[in-house]
Amino acid sequence: MSVICKNCNSLVDQKFCPSCGQKATTGRISLPGLIRDLPHAIFHIDKGILFNLVQLFKRPGPAITDYLEGKRKNFFHPASYLVIALVLNYLVVKITDLHFYDEGELAAMSALEAQALKDYDGLQWWFLEHTYIYILLAIPSSTLFLFMIFRLMKQTYNVAETAVVVLFVIAQGVLIQCAIYACFGWIDSGPVRRTIESINMVLLIMYASLVIGKLLVATKSYLARFVMGIVGGVGLAVVWIASAYVLYLLLT
């Protein structure tokens, strides 16, 4: 029985499309399927990383929609994409030795203020060193939160598809952070580095809000999409931060 390839629209009567090589059948993403693909996704690297990077900046909502609808041939798997983004972030922070204070400002502070700032810095480094444990808590929590947003707004994304959205958004946000840290993390100034951190968070919320707003296609009102996009973006940031602190409380 012939089918139409969802990636290139060619007529296919084989297991793989003769035109683009994608599987002839790519149904909705399911939770078992997403988990089953993880080993291959994490340990096999192909040409899709640059495609992901460009498309998720150029057309973030439509690009993710394409992936969910079955046009996956050119994409790098979202789990692999996140793993690589986290590795790059770890390396950039380590290489720049990015601390959120400098010795000059500590000398001008009271002992209590200086210790509070050093404790905050130590906490950020603890989160960095435990990223892969933290992310295992943050992704399910974020997925559940976003799934409720989608359900509230009458979207039909299932849990696995929502997890894909979360993976793409976090990965792209981490890569944005990597670029900013690589450019400005060398500046040996505590106030500057703390400002950079705040800018990173604002950009991440803005990006997540933009993606969520564009995915709310079932909502005809632009204002409703805009407002719920912001609610979703801010909510995801809160969930990510809360997940990190919950993990810290559990492990220390």
For residues 144-173, average pLDDT:
95
For the entire predicted model, the pTM comes to 0.83
Assess if residue 112 is contained within a domain.
yes
pLDDT at 237: 94
Predicted confidence band of residue 50 (pLDDT cuts 50, 70, 90): confident
Assess if residue 20 is contained within a domain.
no
Domain encompassing residue 153: 28-251
Domain tally, the chain: 1
User: Running DSSP on this structure, what letter comes out for residue 59?
Assistant: S
Cα dihedral 250, 128, 143, 201 sign: positive
Assess if residue 98 is contained within a domain.
yes
Q: How far apart are the C-alpha atoms of 58 and 78, rounded to whole Å?
A: 17
Assess if residue 37 is contained within a domain.
yes
For residues 222-242, average pLDDT:
95
Assess if residue 40 is contained within a domain.
yes
Most confident of 25-39, 101-115, 155-169: 155-169
The answer to whether the beta carbons of residues 14 and 31 sit under 8 Å apart is no
The answer to whether the beta carbons of residues 155 and 215 sit under 8 Å apart is yes
Assess if residue 35 is contained within a domain.
yes
Residues of the chain with pLDDT > 90: what percent? Answer: 62
How far from chain centre, in Å, is Cα 157?
17
How far from chain centre, in Å, is Cα 194?
21
pLDDT at 43 over 60: no
**Least confident stretch, 13-27, 78-92, 171-185, 186-200:** 13-27
Predicted confidence band of residue 32 (pLDDT cuts 50, 70, 90): confident
Assess if residue 229 is contained within a domain.
yes
Assess if residue 86 is contained within a domain.
yes
Q: What is the pLDDT of residues 129-142, one digit of tens each?
A: 998 888 889 999 99
Q: Rounded to 5 degrees, what angle do the CA atoms 50, 53, 58 make?
A: 120
